[in-house]
Amino acid sequence: MQMLKDAILEKGRAINQDVLLVDSFLNHQVDVGLMKAVGEAFAEHFSGKRFTRVVTIESSGIAPAAFTALSLNLPLVIMKKQTSRILTGDILQTTVRSFTKGTSYELTVKRDFLEPGDRVLLIDDFLASGEAAFGVLHLAQQAGATVDGIGIVIEKAFQSGHDRLTAEGLDVYSLARIKSMSERHIEFLD
Ligand code: G4P
């Protein structure tokens, strides 16, 4: 998606070979015009599939996922990273380890919002090693739902996530695939 690649080149900043700062348009300040276009691009790509819910993980996936859900006229479910006193009742949980951040969290969703037979479109901001996506996959399996598509805004194609997910037969579509990056240069695949 050219508009996204332009934003990455103009406003993104690779702080090293592994981490890209995108806080001026994606995950701190948000370019909602760009996110609307991102949502429309996912909706167009996945238009042949019949999903029942769009799912994302708080917090940076919310903006692209919301516009995707709007374009597909589907409910958006935001998976939580922590249980709180008000998130009670029948919940599904799995532990996700983030290699980028060096932390773990309990990915959590109420059973009411991920039901048997649900066909999920997972939208997230970054794909690195795929741990977050596998977490969603585990929760979907627990719920009797399926993950029928995964839309990623920025894929770090030099990490293992894409290959690990496609090896499981998952349909992964990334709008920008970064082949390599350094403080001075960002190179895309394709
Ligand atoms: P994985 O799920 O693909 O295995 O990725 P990993 O655990 O390595 O990293 C996941 C978290 O790190 C996500 O944030 C993701 O947005 C963030 N992340 C990964 N690579 C980058 C990067 O190059 N730049 C930036 N800015 N963030 C990156 P999160 O823990 O879900 O938190 P949140 O930001 O959504 O609140």
**Would you put residue 157 in left (φ > 0), alpha (ψ -120 to 50) or beta?**
alpha
Spatial separation of the C-alpha atoms in residues 33 and 175, rounded to whole Å: 15
Confidence of residue 99 (pLDDT cuts 50, 70, 90): confident
Class in CATH terms, 2-188: alpha beta
Is residue 82 over pLDDT 90? no
Mutate to test the pocket of ligand 1, among 23, 29, 56, 60 (most ligand atoms within 8 A of CB): 60
Q: What is the pLDDT of residue 102?
A: 87
Tell me, in angstroms, the distance from the centre of ligand 1 to residue 25's CA.
Answer: 15
Q: What is the pLDDT of residue 87?
A: 66
Q: What is the pLDDT of residue 3?
A: 98
Average pLDDT over residues 71-78: 98
Q: Name residues whose C-beta falls within 8 Å of residue 40's C-beta, 6 or more positions apart in sequence.
A: 67, 71
- 149 close to ligand 1 (CB < 6 Angstrom): no
Is residue 33 over pLDDT 70? yes
Residue % of the chain over a pLDDT of 70: 97
Rounded to the nearest 10 degrees, what angle do helices 32-45 and 62-72 cross at? Answer: 50
Is residue 73 over pLDDT 70? yes
- 27 close to ligand 1 (CB < 6 Angstrom): yes
- 98 close to ligand 1 (CB < 6 Angstrom): yes
Average pLDDT over residues 104-108: 95
